[in-house]
Structure 1
Amino acid sequence: MDSRYLSVDQVAELLGTTARFPRRLIEERRIRYVKVGRHVRIPASAVEEFIASHTVEPVQLRRSGLRRAA
């Protein structure tokens, strides 16, 4: 058990959002979570996976290949 477990408020702070966003991710089952009694905890690794899977890399455009049609 290597992963740290975060509360909804801690995940919201980490993502820079309100607590509503991680709660919605949990409700829609878009992120892994653990129920501990009535408490919900999210593994730090699940937050890292969520961020990695939603990261969009920039596209490199070649200037010479883009020409306007006359």
Structure 2
Amino acid sequence: MTAYLTVVEAAEHLNTSVRFVRRLVAERRIAFHKVGAHVRIAVVDLDAFVQAGRVEAITDDRVRRDLSGAA
């Protein structure tokens, strides 16, 4: 069963403001469900949003590989 959160709960889950989550919804940058007039966000969609924004750390090996032109 999929767990759904309110906008307030989603903000707590992301450790952000409610305004930020509402902006994500308004800009359609995150998947959400409308239940009548209410917005619900699936936890898996929140986790996917966070994962999509992940930036890998730069390591010495990666810098050397990038400088040498190897893919």
Task: Flag whether TM exceeds 0.5 (same fold).
Answer: yes
If the length of structure 1 is used for normalisation, what is the TM-score? 0.82
Largest Rg, 1 or 2: 1
Gaps of 5+ in 1: 66-70
If the length of structure 2 is used for normalisation, what is the TM-score? 0.81
User: RMSD in angstroms over aligned alpha carbons?
Assistant: 1.5
Q: How many residues align?
A: 63
Gaps of 5+ in 2: 65-71
In the aligned structure 2, how far is the partner of 1:36 from the partner of 1:29? 16
- Percent same amino acid among aligned pairs? 42
Higher-helix-fraction structure: 2
Runs of at least 4 residues off by over 4 Å: none
Q: Does 1:61 align with 2:57?
A: no
